[in-house]
């Protein structure tokens, strides 16, 4: 990750490493909080059973991300990948942001943190705008911890609609050299109360 490469392969394939050019990056200050999403997050915050949690169900988030999806014949998130990233999580290097409703895990994302850099890996949702809510929470948490960029790896229209933009690989690697040299945050605590305050601050900005 420090060298700008990430694993991506299907079950039965050799381990493949990728470093695309350009690289999709979400600068946390550029997250695009559209009015519809703002209203959806506000509605979730009013739900008595809603909770935003961090690192309480990391492996379950990965397994949900690995579940079959329409138009995708398989997943690169194999059992070995789940085990490897769960080990990184146990060491404090990987984190999950989770959306819960009435004690049910409805959406989430996970990624790797090195220094002042966060590498997004995958997300899932069974709830309208659930993964977008988790991503907004991640952006707010990163911003508070001095993390400016989230690596989104591949260029997609969905990520672009949320504010992510492609950057040249050379620029991405230059940013990594600076960001990864910093100290990683020790505390990733974040919940629905902080989300409420961050949503208000975002609207007021």
Give the mean model confidence (pLDDT) for residues 86-111: 98
In total, the chain counts a number of residues equal to: 205
Residues 44, 46: Cα–Cα separation, whole Å: 5
CB atoms within 10 A of CB 119: 19
Contact 4, 172 (CB under 8 A): yes
- Better-scored residue on pLDDT, 80 or 101: 101
Q: pLDDT, tens digit, for every residue of 32-85? A: 999 999 999 999 999 999 999 999 999 999 999 999 776 665 677 999 899 999
For residue 94, what are the β-bridge partners? 112
Angle between helices 35-46 and 192-204 (to 10 degrees): 150
Residues 109, 40: Cα–Cα separation, whole Å: 18
Average pLDDT, the chain: 94
Q: pLDDT, tens digit, for every residue of 151-189? A: 999 999 999 999 999 999 999 999 999 999 999 999 999
- Better-scored residue on pLDDT, 205 or 181: 181
Does the structure show a pLDDT above 80 at 205?
no
Task: Write b or e for each residue in 188-197: b if 16 or more Cβ atoms lie within 10 A of its Cβ, otherwise e.
Answer: bebebebbee
CATH of domain 21-204: 3.40.630.70
Q: How far is CA 135 from CA 13, 31, 60, 73, 150, in A?
A: 30, 9, 17, 25, 10
Please tell me the predicted confidence (pLDDT) of residue 15. Answer: 77
Q: How far is CA 186 from CA 51, 56, 94, 115, 124, in A?
A: 22, 16, 12, 10, 26
Please tell me the predicted confidence (pLDDT) of residue 72. Answer: 63
Does the structure show a pLDDT above 90 at 132?
yes
Q: Hey, where are the domains in the chain?
A: 21-204
Distance of alpha carbon 151 from the chain centroid: 9
């Amino acid at each position: 990750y420090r060298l700008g490469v990430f694993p991506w392969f299907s079950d039965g394939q050799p381990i493949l490493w990728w470093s695309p050019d350009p690289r999709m990056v979400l600068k946390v200050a550029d997250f695009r909080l559209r009015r519809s999403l703002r209203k959806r997050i506000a509605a979730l915050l009013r739900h008595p059973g809603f909770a935003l949690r961090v690192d309480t169900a990391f492996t379950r988030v990965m397994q949900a991300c690995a579940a079959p999806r329409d138009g995708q014949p398989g997943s690169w998130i194999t059992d070995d990948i789940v085990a490897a990233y769960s080990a990184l999580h146990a060491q404090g290097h990987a984190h999950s942001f989770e959306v819960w409703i009435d004690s049910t895990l409805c959406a989430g994302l996970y990624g790797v943190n090195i220094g002042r850099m966060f590498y997004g890996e995958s997300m899932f949702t069974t709830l309208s705008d659930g993964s977008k809510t988790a991503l907004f929470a991640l952006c707010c948490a990163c911003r508070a911890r001095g993390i400016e960029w989230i690596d989104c790896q591949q260029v997609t229209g969905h990520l672009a609609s949320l504010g992510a933009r492609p950057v040249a690989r050379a620029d991405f690697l230059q940013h990594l050299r600076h960001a990864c040299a910093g100290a990683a945050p020790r505390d990733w605590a974040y919940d629905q109360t902080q989300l409420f305050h961050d949503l208000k601050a975002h609207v007021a900005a």
